[in-house]
């Protein structure tokens, strides 16, 4: 029997107790995947609709015969959306149900790209079925959810089964800077599969942790004579070169003139050192974040060596006479 609902002008089904029997035609055995095997001697099926189990038998032409319509009369539209079908005495193996679930994931794909420091690659993800917790207990089916990623990382836990429609996991992402990872949550026991994709995680270098000298060339003496060139490399604790623009502090305990950019480029910093007034061993302190290293530098003295000939010819010569040689050297 069909009736018209005042709040909804569309025609909707209406079952009453006056209806003694109804046949619902359903092409259960005419699916594109072929017929199901025989479901017992009498082919008795059970529909779970709302909070009720309704038995029916398969009649001629694949029709389903309901004998008790009193239960159907009290059902709401939401109840019909939760219909499940299984063979009598085998409720664990569902034969059919509506796939109306929607899986939400946070942070979701609309969040774009999330930068994650290599120092802290542990990230929490949440997946849930919107509206699931507001359903009746009889409509809350246990679900099994898998977590997957496309470019490395480990999940804890990697999967979960529960009946509250909410899931969470922690992923430990790779430590290599530049790595991009996408996470997918999938309800494993639904066909077709219901999935949700996360935002993209991109690993960036961590804080400076290691400073090393790449090369050191040249010599320097007092009074600004000569120059020492030093190049240093700064990395994080995981072997990644730090980000460009990482600030560097260079100080000394003595008189050295320091020329540098004070920030990294491709992890490198170039330093030029010249001596001032005092020679000897100088200590250069280089700091980037919490990383500190000391570089010893030697500033050479200047030696004046005067050589005189045994005899000095003072006679005037048109082209001049070399009377002595003065050599300035440092080493």
Fold adopted by 104-204: Immunoglobulin-like (2.60.40)
Residue 297 in this model has a pLDDT that exceeds 90 = yes
Residue 292 in this model has a pLDDT that exceeds 70 = yes
Start-to-end C-alpha separation, the chain: 110
Highest-confidence range of 78-92, 129-143, 209-223, by mean pLDDT? 209-223
Q: How much is the pLDDT for 289?
A: 93
Distance of alpha carbon 102 from the chain centroid: 23
Contact 219, 272 (CB under 8 A): no
CATH of domain 208-302: 2.60.40.10
Beta strands 143-149 and 159-162 are: antiparallel
Q: How far is CA 262 from CA 9, 152, 241, 255, in A?
A: 75, 35, 16, 19
Q: Return d(Cα 148, Cα 195) in angstroms, integer.
A: 10
Residue 148 in this model has a pLDDT that exceeds 90 = yes
Contact 185, 168 (CB under 8 A): no
Domain ranges of the chain: 2-97, 104-204, 208-302
Q: Say if 104-204 and 208-302 have the same CATH topology.
A: yes
Q: What digits encode the pLDDT tens for the residues 153-207? A: 999 999 999 888 899 999 999 999 999 999 999 988 776 778 999 999 999 999 9
Structure tokens at 314: 């003072």
Beta strands 22-25 and 104-106 are: unpaired
Return the minimum-mean-pLDDT range out of 96-100, 135-139, 233-237.
96-100
């Amino acid at each position: 029997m069909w009736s018209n609902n005042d709040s909804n002008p569309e025609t909707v089904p209406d079952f009453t107790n006056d209806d003694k029997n109804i046949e619902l035609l359903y092409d259960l055995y005419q699916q594109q995947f072929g017929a199901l095997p025989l479901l017992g001697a009498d082919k008795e099926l059970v529909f779970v609709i709302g909070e009720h189990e309704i038995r029916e038998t398969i009649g001629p032409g694949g029709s389903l015969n309901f004998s008790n319509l009193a239960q159907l009369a009290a059902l709401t539209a939401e109840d019909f959306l939760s219909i499940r079908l299984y063979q009598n005495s085998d409720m664990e193996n569902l034969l059919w149900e509506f796939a109306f679930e929607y899986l939400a994931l946070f942070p979701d794909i609309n969040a774009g790209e999330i930068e994650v420091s290599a120092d802290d690659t542990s990230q929490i993800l949440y997946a849930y079925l919107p509206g699931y917790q507001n359903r009746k207990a009889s409509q809350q089916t246990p679900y099994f959810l898998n977590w997957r990623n496309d470019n490395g990382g480990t999940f804890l836990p990697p999967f979960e089964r529960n009946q509250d429609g909410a899931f969470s996991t922690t992923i430990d992402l790779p430590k290599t800077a530049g790595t991009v990872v996408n996470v997918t949550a999938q309800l494993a026991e639904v066909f077709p599969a219901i999935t949700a994709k996360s935002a993209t995680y991109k690993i960036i270098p961590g804080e400076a942790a290691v400073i090393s000298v790449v090369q050191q060339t040249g010599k320097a003496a007092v009074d600004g004579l000569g120059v020492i060139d030093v190049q240093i490399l700064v990395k994080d604790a995981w072997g990644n070169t730090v980000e460009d623009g990482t600030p560097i502090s260079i100080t000394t305990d003595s008189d050295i003139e320091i020329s540098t950019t004070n920030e990294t480029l491709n992890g490198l910093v170039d330093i030029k050192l010249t001596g001032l007034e005092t020679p000897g061993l100088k200590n250069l302190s280089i700091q980037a974040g919490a990383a500190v290293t000391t570089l010893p530098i030697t500033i050479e003295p200047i030696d004046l060596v005067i050589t005189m000939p045994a005899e000095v010819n003072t006679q005037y010569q048109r082209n001049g006479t070399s009377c002595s040689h003065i050599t300035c050297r440092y080493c």
